[in-house]
Structure 1
Amino acid sequence: MRTLCAPLFAFVLSFSSLAVGAGHEFANLADAKRVHGELLALDFIHRSGEFRADDGVLTRFFMPPYAIMKYRGVEADLREVPLGTQMTFVMLPDADGKLTQLVTTDDGQPADAAQLKKFREFTEKRGIAGWIDKTDGSTVTLTFFSGDPVAFQTAYGELLAVGKGGKLCVANDELRTWNPGVDGEGCSITEVNKVPTECFGSSGVQITVKVSNMLEGFRRGRVVRVFLTGWKVQDQFYGESLMGYGFGRMLNQELVENVAKEYPEQFPFRTDYSNAKLPWYQLKEGVKPPPFSEHVVFGELVEADVKNGGGQFLAELGGEKVGFTLTKPHAIKYLGADVRFEQLPKGQRYRFHLYQDEKGAFTRVSFISDEFSHCSANATTARITAVNGKRLHIAWQLPLVKDYNGDMQRPEDIGSAILAVGDATRVWKGDQQVKLADVKAGDVVLFNRTGELPGRPSSCADLWIGEETHKMVTEKLRKPVAGKK
């Protein structure tokens, strides 16, 4: 499994189709399923999200490297597509046969020139993406990605010609670069070829370039970005870049380079990100398990046997009941504080770190954390952008960070989501419970919610307004624990 963490829709997907350099094939749309629904959440950085189909079923998706959303009839980055948009989602199955791969979307609108211009400007700040077909000596052959080959040729055809140049930069399968100034090589185009465009994702343009040095990331199947002649070579913005070069240390650990995903050979066991053919790590008495050895599952806690140190939760989406026992030692986080098992409210969604028992079933839990705690640990808060009846539109934001000049800057939002609220939602501000009607655009919030289960959509259980409130509830919960003997 692969954990796509961060925002509201943190969840688990099959990792086997997400390995670095996996696939290297464009999508045959004849094999795709078209599902109409409403866009509910987006993770701009990990190129993932969720939509609710017209039949009420929630689908969580990730996008392969070549995939591209369309909005107003043209290509669009995830940041440019508003939540609540009704559209058709073109889906392909992953390696486990589940429809989790979003290839493209269709909102049925005519082509909008202003939107296309916005997408081109967005792309040129980051470099056009493609993957490597082969390397030979000091040359690299690559095919560019595009959801509209004709528009691609119109925009970049003159720059993609023999004798032209640019900078070839290493990226990952989320199209994120490390540091283009260093993790890239100047290149000159020696050959341009047309390639088939019957499969979605191919621009129809393949080039061969000559470089002075072959970087580690220049391997068949790997993703690259190319800054063409005249384009400014620059880092992606803080949070999107895999390095965050020139800024303060990244506090959100889900945005830094994921070594289990990018360098799987360093791990002698299976992880949620790679090494599907290896066995999972087995817990050893008195030995702290290594990083990335856990299998993360999200679910709603329904039973807690405090005396025997175990319980049951309902796994998200499928609703399967999972029985578990707590390992010794274990850790539990609630509202940002270390708590005892009996302090966890039932009927809420938690993150469970699981290990196999002697029968190979994932029943041993070493760590439980609620969404409030997880966001707090990763220095991430939600900003209310709109209040629409029983739905709150939120944007996920990072804290202020010191830039190259020593000035404090607010990074760009890293995701967005629609949060369902209702009569059962409790709202807190300071040490007082307030009304849901008191929530307004601009409020900075953290929240906990129920799990997404068959026939019962997730909804907000508790919502805390303001960073001072967040600190207050955590400190209040810590006091009895700190005083425990």
Structure 2
Amino acid sequence: MSLLILGLWASVASAAEPFRPSPGTFPPIEQAKAYRGELVFVDHVNRRGSLRLHVDGHFHEGRLHHFAMLPYGVIRYRGAPADLRDIPVGTVLYGLFYLPPEPKISAVPNVTRDDPTAPPENHAILLEDDSSLCMREGKAWQLKEVELNKGEGNLVATLERKSEGIGLDGEHTMTIDSSTRIWRGKELLGLDDLVAQGHWPADGKKQFAGQAVQLALGWHPRYLYQQFHVSDLWLDEAAVNVAAERQRQRHIRHIRTRWMPAMVDSADHREFGHAVVTVTLFGGMDETLYADFKPGIGGKMAAAENTLRTWWPDHDGMDGRIIAVDRAENDPPLGSSGLQIKFEVPLILEGFRPGQIVRIRPENWPNVKPPVEERVRGFEDRWPSPDLFQK
């Protein structure tokens, strides 16, 4: 992921006017709006869902913020690249949003100015959970106190942020109970295990000297007052690394079997339909996936839609050859990997026009079609209707 976003949460959170990206471009991160909310609905096939935002008025009224991921939108979970299907409903997420690039074919309802509490920015370029945000910032929660009574209680922790972004800051009291998953090294523990081992009290309080931990925050009955429940607690760095590695491997398998998404930059037409198609691979993927794209090897490219869905890529994709791999010298914008691929095909397809979305695989990735529910199966299916959501 681009290092550009490391220090920009505060500046994007106060961007003056809603910004509408131009289709076929990577928008400036400074124009994004930052919001925090709880994931309450997911349509992973079409990369869209709903958040209960932590926004005054909007949050209190319980209205949902329906969102769609931009084609190049980055998702991170447990410190690793992810897909929406990986994130449990109820997880607190942090995101950066823009207006829909093409309102007429938006997969979620467009927000009008008639409702001042409903943010109009509903297309996400970044979504990540609390542990991913903390790990990217090099931060950790400092555990101060645990209080238990018959298998449930509270955890008090602090987190210092100098910026005024959407990340939580200061001291927070959060609930824990027997449903809280506690990770230590490669062990999965419960409250009863820590009590039995004498690390936590069966009843009463225990003070801690700022032990560094990572948290996964979820729904709390007093969510209207922005209180949180701890669904996962990582007690040490080894546990954090194990969680990140498990998610990383899940992501790698997903991309290898669905292929790398990219945007077409140009198409150099030759004789008899022959062409060289230049694409920019999307960002936010694991580095080992990018390393598989090498000059001189074969591969296949298939047309895709803004949801990243394809038709029948193992059949209707076009075999070809990677003739060049170029990496941008400067830090690429969020959403772009900065890696540009020149792909030679014997016959160019309609979906390989500049600005279009494609999926591409190097020859050592599986040549398979995705599950039937993930494929585009008809003309109207190319643009999912926003009628699924309550307006």
TM-score category of the 2 structures, normalised to the smaller one: 0.5 to 0.7
Q: Which amino acid aligns with 1:258?
A: E
Match among 334, 354, 358 for residue 200 of structure 1: 334
Asked whether 1:258 is paired with 2:380, we answer yes
Question: Per the alignment, in what secondary structure is the counterpart of residue 37 of structure 1?
Answer: strand
Conservation of the 8 A alpha-carbon contact between 1:73 and 1:108: no
In the alignment, structure 1 segments of 5+ residues that lack a partner are 1-16, 244-255, 263-271, 274-295, 300-315, 317-485
Q: How far 1:298 moved relative to its partner?
A: 7.2
Aligned residue in 2 for 1:114 = 246
Change (3 A) 1:34 1:162: same
Conservation of the 8 A alpha-carbon contact between 1:169 and 1:224: yes
Aligned residue in 1 for 2:355 = 221
CA distance in 2, matches of 1:194, 1:32: 25
Question: Per the alignment, in what secondary structure is the counterpart of residue 69 of structure 1?
Answer: strand
Question: Per the alignment, in what secondary structure is the counterpart of residue 181 of structure 1?
Answer: helix
CA distance in 2, matches of 1:61, 1:140: 31
Conservation of the 8 A alpha-carbon contact between 1:37 and 1:86: yes
CA distance in 2, matches of 1:261, 1:183: 19
Match among 360, 365, 383 for residue 231 of structure 1: 365
Conservation of the 8 A alpha-carbon contact between 1:141 and 1:208: yes
Asked whether 1:37 is paired with 2:37, we answer yes
**Larger fraction in helix:** 2
Structure 1 residues 392-403: aligned runs within 5 Å? none
Q: Which amino acid aligns with 1:123?
A: I
Q: How far 1:297 moved relative to its partner?
A: 9.9
1:257-285 Cα deviation digits (max 9, x unpaired)? 416849xxxxxxxxx79xxxxxxxxxxxx
In the superposition, the TM-score normalised over structure 1's length comes to 0.45
Question: Per the alignment, in what secondary structure is the counterpart of residue 52 of structure 2?
Answer: strand
Q: How far 1:181 moved relative to its partner?
A: 2.6
Aligned residue in 2 for 1:387 = none
CA distance in 1, matches of 2:382, 2:346: 30
1:401-427 Cα deviation digits (max 9, x unpaired)? xxxxxxxxxxxxxxxxxxxxxxxxxxx
Q: Which amino acid aligns with 1:163?
A: G
Q: Which amino acid aligns with 1:38?
A: E
Structure 1 residues 86-485: aligned runs within 5 Å? 86-95=92-101, 98-109=120-131, 110=135, 112-137=244-269, 138-147=275-284, 151-152=286-287, 154-157=288-291, 159-195=292-328, 196-243=330-377, 256-258=378-380, 261=383, 316=391
In the alignment, structure 2 segments of 5+ residues that lack a partner are 1-19, 104-110, 112-119, 136-240, 270-274
Q: How far 1:93 moved relative to its partner?
A: 2.2
Give the 4+ runs in structure 1 shifted more than 3 A.
Answer: 259-262, 296-299
Change (3 A) 1:144 1:297: closer
Q: How far 1:217 moved relative to its partner?
A: 1.1
Percent sequence identity is 29
1:369-399 Cα deviation digits (max 9, x unpaired)? xxxxxxxxxxxxxxxxxxxxxxxxxxxxxxx
Conservation of the 8 A alpha-carbon contact between 1:197 and 1:203: no
Aligned residue in 1 for 2:65 = 59
CA distance in 2, matches of 1:297, 1:73: 31
Conservation of the 8 A alpha-carbon contact between 2:25 and 2:355: no
Change (3 A) 1:66 1:197: farther
Change (3 A) 1:219 1:48: same
CA distance in 2, matches of 1:72, 1:30: 25
CA distance in 2, matches of 1:61, 1:259: 18
1:79-124 Cα deviation digits (max 9, x unpaired)? 1011100121211223578211111123231461110110010110
CA distance in 2, matches of 1:175, 1:197: 24
